[in-house]
Chains A and B, each alone.
Chain A
């Protein structure tokens, strides 16, 4: 299978520049400096055509930033996004536009991601019209896209506020599908929905994958959702990937201590009243991440080496990758 998308050593840094008062204070000897957040720190991943890659992490780990870099909303500070074997940043003109349209994003909040002053038919029809995918009357095209995501086309003259949360998320999906993408980045796309509606939207994602041959980067904090939909899972912690593995293998036997903690502590229906000792500590600030392995202050297996040296992703014999000095010990 060919890789549709490859993320090659991508980093994204956000720097808070000093304003005038800050510069003045620094000149006078105050302890103010420009602060840099390494939201994404040297991540390499590849997604095969037709694959669903789940990206899991807690808040602040950089998973959304990575999703936005992939979708072309942020330019990477370092590294490359390779689509169909070509570096997206090096493309220009027509090829660049095709590459941009090929990757679309679905956002978490169906209330904030739709323009409240636009009718549904315009929300869905605007982009394909602007990019010349349709000419003249968009009516039939919009209706077909709406049917595809399970919306009644007769509602196309309505505004977003006239829909429920689940329906709005379908509008967001229809908007992404309207430009005929091949790759969808779903950033917590079902997190804001009720359980029964989540199931409906998850089913829709799975149906679309079949009918439209889509490839997904499915970003979520919810392990059970990712376990259900993804073929392969990448676990992220403080800007770095700590483990990737096929879904079954990862859930059966996690290798990285952080993955283990996540799996043990995620609430599940079959985990009844258990007495367990949850992992200690909080997620450190990405402004001042710990040295060496970012997970060492919370890790039960941490040694001196973990404090000093950053572990790199190693490929294990069974075809996973783990970034831990001690994965062999388990």
Chain B
């Protein structure tokens, strides 16, 4: 396994109370595998990504759990070691490419810098490597683009550069946080296409964080659905999307227009995402759930069956989903 996360808890200790942004997350990703981490805003999906790469700032803190990257424990690892891994063995792609790119430096300066920081000494070789990386993500005339500043590129091109930088050192793991959310449909399709191709080709594990189930349906091997800091359902794409067992997953899928008949009312989930600083006792979804029973006053444990894991006392049977 490239990455194994066990019982990860990232809390923010604020004056208003402890915000349990990530509260007991388990998953693993293997080489060349693409995992979609899906959730609505405030579900803790981005904080999970930031925790893995060690970018949690106070008042946030990884309070419990383990993150094993190729067998090496990252929780509590010295900052120097994390710095060595970041951008080298583990890379991140952000929603806004301008978070990755320095607006006052040319693309080549930034790419060569990333290579030099992790051991490449020959500048000419680094330049060639940077140019090839740009070509790989589908940037036309990469030689000229190396001289460009970020503002001279379109949003889609900037995101490609950010992806090229992420893939520069052939990392073992890439965490992509909503990388195509800000892009147009045709550009999004191109980026997904490139990312998929690169991962399959190089054996890089990819965690694709998004709110859009339709995107991961076309991209990922497995899906983890997060709600209020926990993964509530995990399984293969076909299992989770065609046969959801957690009422929240089923509700999310029901909310997607394309899964519904045109003109009919969408099956909406009532209410809204809970306040993470004041989560109710027991299952966090119980107030919005149509299947809640007295048992839901107790927090559900993970139920494991075949290739899927569900956190629910009353999982939907296959019959109900079909009905």
User: Which of B185, B190, B262, B268 touches A227 (beta carbons < 8 Å)?
Assistant: B262
Contact B252 A195 (CB under 8 A): yes
User: Which of B218, B237, B252, B265 touches A267 (beta carbons < 8 Å)?
Assistant: B218
Mark out the residues of chain B between 250 and 277 whose CB falls within 8 Å of any chain A CB in the assembled complex: 251-260, 262-263, 265-269, 272-273
Whether B184 sits at the interface, judged by CB under 8 Å, is yes
Chain A residues with CB under 8 Å of B189's CB are 265-267, 276, 278-279
Mark out the residues of chain A between 267 and 282 whose CB falls within 8 Å of any chain B CB in the assembled complex: 267-274, 276-279, 282
Per the CB 8 Å criterion, the residue count for chain B at the interface is: 45
Chain A residues with CB under 8 Å of B41's CB are 194
Chain A residues with CB under 8 Å of B185's CB are 58, 221, 223, 262, 265-266
Chain A residues with CB under 8 Å of B266's CB are 199, 202-203, 228
A184-203, CB under 8 A of B: which get 1 and which 0?
A: 00000000001111111011
Mark out the residues of chain B between 80 and 100 whose CB falls within 8 Å of any chain A CB in the assembled complex: none
- Counting contact residues on chain A (CB < 8 A from B), the size range is 35 or more
Contact A203 B186 (CB under 8 A): no
Chain B residues with CB under 8 Å of A271's CB are 214, 217-218
Whether B156 sits at the interface, judged by CB under 8 Å, is yes
Contact B218 A227 (CB under 8 A): no
Give Cα distance in the complex from A164 to B272, angstroms.
Answer: 9
Whether B141 sits at the interface, judged by CB under 8 Å, is no
Contact B267 A199 (CB under 8 A): yes
Chain A residues with CB under 8 Å of B196's CB are 273
Contact B262 A268 (CB under 8 A): no
Contact B184 A224 (CB under 8 A): no
User: Which of A228, A265, A273, A276 touches B262 (beta carbons < 8 Å)?
Assistant: A228
B182-196, CB under 8 A of A: which get 1 and which 0?
A: 001111111011001
Give Cα distance in the complex from A197 to B266, angstroms.
Answer: 11
User: Which of B40, B238, B255, B265 touches A272 (beta carbons < 8 Å)?
Assistant: B238
Contact A195 B40 (CB under 8 A): yes
- A195 and B211 contact, Cβ closer than 8 Å, known pairs A58-B185, A269-B258, A282-B157: yes
Chain B residues with CB under 8 Å of A269's CB are 213-214, 217, 241, 253, 256, 258-259
Give Cα distance in the complex from A221 to B77, angstroms.
Answer: 44
Give Cα distance in the complex from A223 to B258, angstroms.
Answer: 9
B277 nearest CB across to chain A (Å): 15
- A268 and B214 contact, Cβ closer than 8 Å, known pairs A203-B266, A261-B186: yes
A216 nearest CB across to chain B (Å): 13
Whether B143 sits at the interface, judged by CB under 8 Å, is no
Give Cα distance in the complex from A266 to B184, angstroms.
Answer: 10
Give Cα distance in the complex from A227 to B259, angstroms.
Answer: 11
Contact A224 B186 (CB under 8 A): no
- A196 and B255 contact, Cβ closer than 8 Å, known pairs A203-B265, A262-B186, A276-B193: yes
Contact A272 B186 (CB under 8 A): no
Whether A152 sits at the interface, judged by CB under 8 Å, is no
Contact A206 B265 (CB under 8 A): yes
Q: Which residue of B lies closest to A56 (CB)?
A: B185
Whether B212 sits at the interface, judged by CB under 8 Å, is yes
Give Cα distance in the complex from A163 to B266, angstroms.
Answer: 23
Whether B215 sits at the interface, judged by CB under 8 Å, is yes
Give Cα distance in the complex from A248 to B192, angstroms.
Answer: 27
Give Cα distance in the complex from A203 to B257, angstroms.
Answer: 10
Give Cα distance in the complex from A58 to B186, angstroms.
Answer: 8
Chain A residues with CB under 8 Å of B214's CB are 224, 266-269, 271
Give Cα distance in the complex from A248 to B263, angstroms.
Answer: 11
Give Cα distance in the complex from A1 to B41, angstroms.
Answer: 42
Mark out the residues of chain A between 133 and 157 whose CB falls within 8 Å of any chain B CB in the assembled complex: none
A205-222, CB under 8 A of B: which get 1 and which 0?
A: 010000000000000010
A162-183, CB under 8 A of B: which get 1 and which 0?
A: 0010100000000000000000
Q: Which residue of B lies closest to A201 (CB)?
A: B268
10 shortest A-B CB distances, which residue pairs? A265-B189, A199-B255, A228-B257, A224-B258, A58-B184, A267-B214, A199-B266, A199-B268, A194-B40, A278-B189
Known: A194-B211, A202-B257. 19 other contacts (CB 8 A): A58-B187, A164-B272, A166-B272, A196-B268, A196-B269, A198-B255, A199-B254, A203-B266, A206-B265, A228-B263, A265-B189, A267-B189, A267-B215, A269-B241, A270-B258, A271-B214, A273-B237, A279-B186, A282-B187
A selection of 25 A-B contacts at a CB cut-off of 8 Å is: A194-B40, A194-B211, A195-B40, A195-B213, A196-B40, A196-B272, A199-B255, A199-B269, A202-B266, A206-B263, A224-B257, A225-B257, A228-B266, A265-B185, A265-B186, A266-B214, A267-B217, A267-B218, A269-B214, A273-B196, A273-B219, A278-B186, A278-B189, A283-B154, A283-B186
The interface of chain B, by Cβ under 8 A from chain A, is 40-41, 154, 156-157, 184-190, 192-193, 196, 211-215, 217-219, 237-238, 241, 251-260, 262-263, 265-269, 272-273
The interface of chain A, by Cβ under 8 A from chain B, is 58-59, 164, 166, 194-200, 202-203, 206, 221, 223-225, 227-229, 247-248, 261-262, 265-274, 276-279, 282-283
